[in-house]
Amino acid sequence: MGDEVARIRHTYNGGSQVELRFFLVPKYRGELENRIFRDVRWVERAKLPDYGFLDADRELVQEIAAGKIV
C-alpha cells in the first residue's frame, strides 16, 4: 500500500459520521473481491462521476476524475 492521497470526514443527514482514508495502490495483483457492493469494475477516471457513489465519496470522485488526485 502506498501513500495516503485523501482523508474525508462526512456527516450524513441522520447525524452519523464517517472518516474515509484513501491510499495509492501502485501495483495490484489478483482478483477484486466484492464484499459489499452490487458492482465493482475498473473504468477510466473520467467516467467515474457517471456511477452512483455515496455522498461521502462524491467530492473525491470528482477530484480523481479531473486528474487532481493520483
| Residue 12 scores a pLDDT above 80 | yes
pLDDT of residue 26: 85
51-60 average pLDDT score: 86
Angstrom distance (rounded) from CA 32 to CA 67: 23
| Residue 70 scores a pLDDT above 80 | no
Angstrom distance (rounded) from CA 44 to CA 41: 10
pLDDT tens for 15-51 read 999 898 989 888 888 887 888 877 888 899 999 999 9
Confidence band for 4, pLDDT divided at 50, 70 and 90: very high
Angstrom distance (rounded) from CA 47 to CA 28: 21
